[in-house]
Structure 1
Amino acid sequence: MQVQVQIVQDMQALETKEATCMEAIESAREAIVKIANDLYERHDKIALGELCEHPQYGANEKAIPGNPETDYRYIRITDIDEHGRLLHDWHTAEHVDEKYILQHGDFLFARSGSVGKTFLYLQGMPKAIYAGYLIRFKPIQNKLMPEFLNLVTKSGSYQTWVKNIQSQVTIPNINAKQYASLLIPNLHFSEQERLMEEVESHEKLIAEKEARMFEIQREKIDVLSKYL
């Protein structure tokens, strides 16, 4: 009986820590959304297409199992979560065409299925190509920070725009031309850099708390292993 009480106490203590981490994460995400929303209220707008190279649709290839150590990852809409991060379901493509290889700063929009979903590819990520239901936008250097574009897509204005576009068609779909017409806040590049420093502080906190939550899960397993 005493062992059961100790297990409950230890688990409750860990769950309290876990809840505290979740609150901090949600608070940081809300702060990022607020920053994004404020941009639309305070700045003039410009069409996304004026700040990017010509958009490109992805590869039409079959996804197959592969080796994450040596093969290119094949990024599909279903591989991206609601926060724009890659899930663990790893596949490569049957054929890899170099024109679909992602480079630092490439920004992907979902054109069908989970319309409006986005993903930012950054230096240091494993090599990858992207699938046909995604559209790649390449921000023009010194005009648009990829990270700033990522921030903009966290705003309520972006979510409303996506819903409005979807309401105009029977099957949800947003093509490259429509994404290029998306109006985003028009800030000088140096202003974008300054703003992203603030956003990065929130993102760093999120990463730290998520790492701590992962540790807590391991600690829960250790508690059970210790007493059972």
Structure 2
Amino acid sequence: MPAPQYKRILLKLSGEVLMGGQDYGIDPGFVAEMAKEVKAAKETGLEICLVIGGGNIFRGMAGAAQGMDRAQADYMGMLATVMNALAMQSALEQIGVPTRVQSAIEMDKVCEPVIRRRAERHLEKGRVVIFAAGVGAPYFTTDSGAALRAAEMKCDALLKGTSVDGVYDSDPKTNADAKRFDTVTYDRVLADNLKVMDASAVALCRDNDIPIVVFSIRDEGNLARVLGGAGVQTIVKQ
């Protein structure tokens, strides 16, 4: 694997990625494959933080759209991210990667609370830190949680692994002529509403000069290629 460009990264995965080929829930086989990619990246010397969404189990916005109280629905979504974090922790530790889960909603029987200095110590000791439960408050997405943790942990980049291989000027699923950007500015993303991440997350990365690297996590080995500067990706930067 080529040497990575970064020393410390935050990898943001959508919850839907953990479904694998299923329609719902967690596919243990696919989670195990993801864990292998994270391990391979870590073995290059990277310090890695993870944030995983909860959309494979419950999405707060969807619950609110069906008449649930938005704050209540968002808390349910946060609990879904904790479940995903524990699944990823189990997969990583089964292949010998020491891992800690820190949750913004305290639940000391299953994981640690989010404590920045403790998280930094874990990274320095070679552990992967998985941040769960977003920012611990409703009305914020896991994208915002990822941007916040990337800033707190002084990450060199925020990598967003999705089912799309970058940022396009329109939806590539509905427009065959959609153009993919190799690089694009934060301001262009915000002005054109390019749907990379929600606006508050993009603005937080812009204000802290954290590049956002968008790539497809579904292609086997793509995380390694992207870290080596070779994979298909879009970099959002100044």
Normalising TM by the smaller chain, what interval? under 0.3
- Tell me which structure has the larger Cα radius of gyration: 1
Q: TM-score, normalised by structure 1?
A: 0.25
| Greater fraction of residues in strand | 2
**Structure ranking higher on relative contact order (CA contacts 8 Å, 6+ apart):** 1
Q: TM-score, normalised by structure 2?
A: 0.24
